[in-house]
Amino acid sequence: MPQNQIFDLLLRNARLRGGQTLQDIAVRQGRIAAIGPALTATAVVEEDAGGRLVLPGLVDTHIHLDKSCLLCRCRDAGGGLKGAIAAVSRLKRDFTIEDVYERGARTLERAITQGTMHMRTHVELDPLVGLRSFEAMKRLKRDYAFAIDLSICVFPQEGMTHDPAVERLLTQALAEGADLLGGCPYTDADPSLHMERIFALAVAHDVDLDFHLDFDLDPSWSHLEEICRRTMAAGWQGRVAVGHATKLAAIDDAALGRVIALLADAGVGVTALPATDLYLNGRDANHRAPRGVAPVHRLAEGGVAVSVATNNVLNPFTPFGDGSLMRMGNLYANLMHLGPESFGDCLDMISNGAARLMRITDYGIAVGGQADLIVLDADDEADAFGGIAAPLMGFKRGRKSFVRPAATLLM
C-alpha cells in the first residue's frame, strides 16, 4: 500500500479471528482498502478498537419483523404452533402499515445495536393482511439502509392453494420490490401443489426461495426430499433454503447421513431457529421434551450451507428475544453440547456461513470487501462467543452506524 494515503475510516488495533497481531483496517468509499499492522495512513475518521475482536456485521437469515412485539395483544395464545398461528391470524386483519412499521422498527433497531447488518425478513401475505405488512417492510428497508441491508421474503403463512387471491398477492409483491419468495407447505391442504406453484413463481420472477418446512418431530413424513427434487429439476441449486426442518432432530444417524448427502447435492441450505424450535416443539413430552432443533453443525460438516437465526421476537411463536445473534448462536452451542473447539463454527453460522446461505457477495473482512464491521467487548474469540460479548460499535459500509458503550462500574 502506498504510504500516507487518506482514507474515509481507519479502524486501528483490531483483533481479527485467527490472528495474533493487531491490525488496522482502512476503508474508502464503503469498502476495505487495506489491512495491516500499524498502517501509515490518515483518515477522515479514525477509531481505536483497543485490541478488541472485530467481526464482519452479523447475518440474520430468518426473522419475522411483521409480527414481532405482539405479546401485549395476545398473551393467551394457548401455546403450540397451531395456537400461535391462530392468535396472529386473528390480529392480522387489523394490522396497519404504521403499526407494522413501528413494531418492526423496534425489533430492527435492537438487532442493529446487537451487530446485525444483513437480515432476511419473512413477511406474510394473504387476504387478511393484504400488502400492508409488505408496504411497511419496504419503508423499513429504505429508512434503515444506513445500518442494515434488509431483504424481504414474501410468503403465504396459512397456505395458498385454497384461495387464488394469495398467489395474486405474491405475484404483485414480487413485481413491487419483494426480494425473494417463501413457502409453508405444512399449513396447506395440498402441500405438493403449494411447492409446485411456489417454484413456478420463483422461476418466472427469477428469485431465490426460502421455505418454512418440516416443523415438528414426527419422522414418519417429510417435505424435504420433494424440496430437493424440485430444486434440482428447476436448476435452482444454491438458491433454495429451508427454515426449521426440526424433523432432522428426530431421525437416526443413517437417515441423517442420507439427508445431508441429498441437501448437499441439491444445494439446499438449512436454517435452525433455536428459540422458536425449542419453545414450540416437544410439548407433548412434558418434562422429557427433546431439544427439537435441527443439528445444522452436522449438515455443515457435509458441505451444506447452514445458519442459525432469530425467527420470532416477543410474540406467541417466541415470547422472548433481544435481537442478539450472538445469544442465538450461543444457545445453539449449548443445545448441541458444542464446546470451545466448535465456537468458531457456531460464529460462522451467524456470519460467513449465513452470508453464504443468503448469497451475499463481498462479505467478510478482506481487502475489497464491503466495510461492515462490529467491535465486540472482548479480545478473544472464545470469550466473545462463550460470554455473549456485546458489540460496542458498528460501521456499515465504513460509516459508524451505532454505539453501545461498555458498562462501567461506579465504585
H-helix or E-strand spanning residue 122 = strand 116-124
Q: Are residues 225 and 348 in the same domain?
A: yes
Residue where the block lists cell 479514525:
46
Q: Are residues 78 and 169 in the same domain?
A: yes
272 contacts 296 by C-beta, under 8 angstroms: yes
Q: Report DSSP state, residue 146.
A: T
Domain count within the chain: 2
Mean pLDDT, rounded, for 186-208: 98
Q: Are residues 256 and 398 in the same domain?
A: no
Task: Give the full edge-to-edge strand order of the sheet including 54-56.
Answer: 54-56, 373-376, 391-396, 399-403
Q: Are residues 350 and 391 in the same domain?
A: no
**Do the domain assignments include residue 354?**
yes
Q: Are residues 195 and 209 in the same domain?
A: yes
Q: Name the domain boundary from 340, 358, 376.
A: 358
Least confident of 99-108, 283-292, 356-365: 283-292
**Do the domain assignments include residue 411?**
no
Taking 90 as the threshold, does the pLDDT of residue 79 lie above it? no
> pLDDT averaged over the chain?
96
pLDDT digit string, tens, across residues 37-53: 999 999 999 999 999 99
Task: Using pLDDT thresholds of 50, 70 and 90, give the confidence band for residue 82.
Answer: confident
Q: What is the CATH number of the domain that holds 51?
A: 2.30.40.10
Q: What is the CATH number of the domain that holds 151?
A: 3.20.20.140
Mean pLDDT, rounded, for 113-139: 98
Q: Are residues 390 and 340 in the same domain?
A: no
pLDDT digit string, tens, across residues 143-160: 999 999 999 999 999 999
- Kindly provide the b/e burial profile for residues 158-182, where b requires at least 16 CB atoms within 10 angstroms of the residue's own CB: bbbbeeeebbebbbebbeeebbbbb
The residues, any chain, with a CB within 8 Å of residue 253's CB and separated by 6 or more, are none
Model pLDDT, residue 17: 96
Mean pLDDT, rounded, for 152-173: 97
Q: Name the domain boundary from 339, 358, 377.
A: 358
Residue where the block lists cell 465504513:
398
Model pLDDT, residue 84: 87
**Do the domain assignments include residue 23?**
yes
CA distance 245 to 124: 19
Task: Using pLDDT thresholds of 50, 70 and 90, give the confidence band for residue 72.
Answer: confident
Q: Are residues 216 and 258 in the same domain?
A: yes
SS (HEC) of 336-358? CCCCHHHHHHHHHCCCHHHHHHC
Q: Are residues 130 and 257 in the same domain?
A: yes
CA distance 53 to 38: 16
Q: Are residues 215 and 324 in the same domain?
A: yes
Taking 70 as the threshold, does the pLDDT of residue 279 lie above it? yes
Q: Are residues 240 and 375 in the same domain?
A: no
Task: Using pLDDT thresholds of 50, 70 and 90, give the confidence band for residue 116.
Answer: very high
**Do the domain assignments include residue 324?**
yes
Q: Are residues 342 and 375 in the same domain?
A: no
Q: Are residues 79 and 204 in the same domain?
A: yes
Q: Domain span at residue 369?
A: 6-56+363-403
pLDDT above 90: percentage of residues in the chain: 91
**Do the domain assignments include residue 410?**
no
**Do the domain assignments include residue 1?**
no
**Do the domain assignments include residue 167?**
yes
